[in-house]
């Protein structure tokens, strides 16, 4: 139930295209919204599409873009106050999975922001019944935009991991990579376009191992994930380090194989030589 509205959003619009003459609820929806605002003494802005929105807290982080992934907590209800869906913990989902009113409304916020979206049917489910939402319904959402993509949450997770495991002397690069150099090494320092031989072990924050070299492995640093390339480039030949790599420097919103979307990766690495 928690994901029903969003995951079905794209299916809905495909279905609507098959209806040659769907009913237009715009006028009656707008009258219903204005009555709701008046009855509840609310001051909302109206966009050119017919969306009404109230920004309680603008937020201070990134503004979501169409290809971003967002984590949102929300409560959805009708103008009579009946709640049809709620998720207090938050759900992480691609922005382009959401109904049009959500996509537009979240664009008025920044990461950490809160607000209310009052969405007419043509920006939601139109002339189609959707679960317990009747066709033509105005739907209202109280929303908290917890994060855009994973950078903020990954940062918190890495810091919590370091604290819980009493790991000190970890440096944070401007990119968001965290690293701890155990041995700087004494040889040459690689460039991010070099081919290098390394040994490594990769695991998640929960300690589960996802990859490990059994011998020296050669990599072209220009063809590996950004966090790995950046971390190796901080060492000299013979050096070793632990890299704590956030998703935006690894496999991002998509994930890869056994690595889920948004995962923080930890690598124990040794730079054996520059080839």
Report the chain (275 residues): mean pLDDT per 10 consecutive residues.
Answer: 43 46 92 98 97 96 87 95 93 89 95 97 92 94 93 93 97 97 96 93 97 94 96 96 97 91 96 95
- Is the same domain home to 180 and 93? no
> Tokens 């049009």 map to which residue?
100
pLDDT at 67: 81
Q: Which of 119, 148, 177 is the last residue of a domain?
A: 148
Backbone angles phi, psi at 234, to 5 degrees: -90, -10
| Residues 56 and 114 sit within 8 Å (Cβ to Cβ) | yes
pLDDT at 2: 44
- Is the same domain home to 91 and 194? no
- Is the same domain home to 50 and 126? yes
149 alpha-carbon distance from chain centroid: 3
pLDDT at 149: 87
- Is the same domain home to 51 and 155? no
pLDDT at 45: 97
- Is the same domain home to 132 and 186? no
pLDDT at 20: 65
Range of the domain at 228: 151-274
Total domains in the chain come to 2
pLDDT at 33: 98
| Residues 161 and 205 sit within 8 Å (Cβ to Cβ) | yes
- Is the same domain home to 161 and 123? no
Q: Which of 115, 148, 181 is the last residue of a domain?
A: 148
- Is the same domain home to 111 and 12? yes
The residues that are catalytic are 200, 210-211, 225, 251, 267
For residue 114, what is the domain's CATH number? 3.10.50.40
Secondary structure of residue 50 in the 3-state scheme: coil
pLDDT at 251: 95
Long-range contacts of 176-180 (CB under 8 A, 24+ apart): 176/151, 176/246, 176/248, 176/249, 177/227, 177/230, 177/231, 177/243, 177/244, 177/245, 177/246, 177/249, 178/243, 178/244, 179/231, 179/234, 179/241, 179/242, 179/243, 179/244, 180/241, 180/242
- Is the same domain home to 103 and 237? no
The dihedral region occupied by 72, where left means phi > 0, alpha psi between -120 and 50, and beta the remainder, is beta
pTM of the model: 0.74
Q: Which of 97, 123, 148 is the last residue of a domain?
A: 148
Reported as half-sphere exposure (CB side, CA atoms, 13 A), residue 149 has a value of: 21
- Is the same domain home to 114 and 213? no
- Is the same domain home to 141 and 202? no
- Is the same domain home to 28 and 140? yes
pLDDT at 161: 98
- Is the same domain home to 106 and 67? yes
């Amino acid at each position: 139930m928690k994901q029903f509205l969003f995951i079905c959003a794209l299916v809905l619009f495909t279905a609507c295209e098959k209806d040659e003459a769907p009913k237009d609820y715009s006028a009656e929806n707008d009258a219903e919204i204005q009555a709701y605002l008046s009855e509840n003494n609310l001051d909302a802005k109206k966009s050119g599409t017919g969306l009404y929105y109230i920004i309680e807290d603008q937020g201070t982080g990134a503004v979501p873009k169409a290809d971003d992934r967002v984590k949102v907590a929300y409560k959805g209800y009708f103008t009579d106050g009946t709640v049809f869906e709620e998720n207090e913990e938050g759900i992480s989902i691609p922005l382009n999975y959401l109904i049009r009113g959500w996509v537009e409304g979240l664009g008025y916020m920044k990461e950490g922001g809160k607000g209310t979206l009052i969405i007419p049917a043509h920006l939601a489910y139109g002339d189609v019944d959707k679960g317990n939402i009747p066709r033509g319904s105005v739907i209202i959402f109280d929303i908290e935009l917890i994060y855009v993509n994973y950078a903020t949450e990954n940062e918190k997770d890495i810091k919590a991991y370091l604290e819980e495991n009493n790991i000190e002397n970890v440096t944070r690069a401007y990119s968001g990579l965290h690293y701890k150099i155990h041995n700087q090494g004494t040889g040459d320092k690689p460039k991010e376009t070099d081919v290098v031989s390394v040994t490594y072990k990769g695991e998640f924050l929960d300690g589960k191992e996802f990859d490990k070299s059994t011998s020296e492995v050669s990599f072209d640093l220009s063809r590996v994930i950004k966090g790995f390339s950046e971390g190796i480039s901080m060492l000299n030949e013979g050096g070793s380090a632990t890299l704590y790599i956030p998703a935006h420097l690894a496999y991002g919103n998509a994930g890869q194989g056994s690595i889920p979307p948004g995962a923080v990766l930890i690598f124990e690495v040794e730079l054996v030589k520059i080839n």
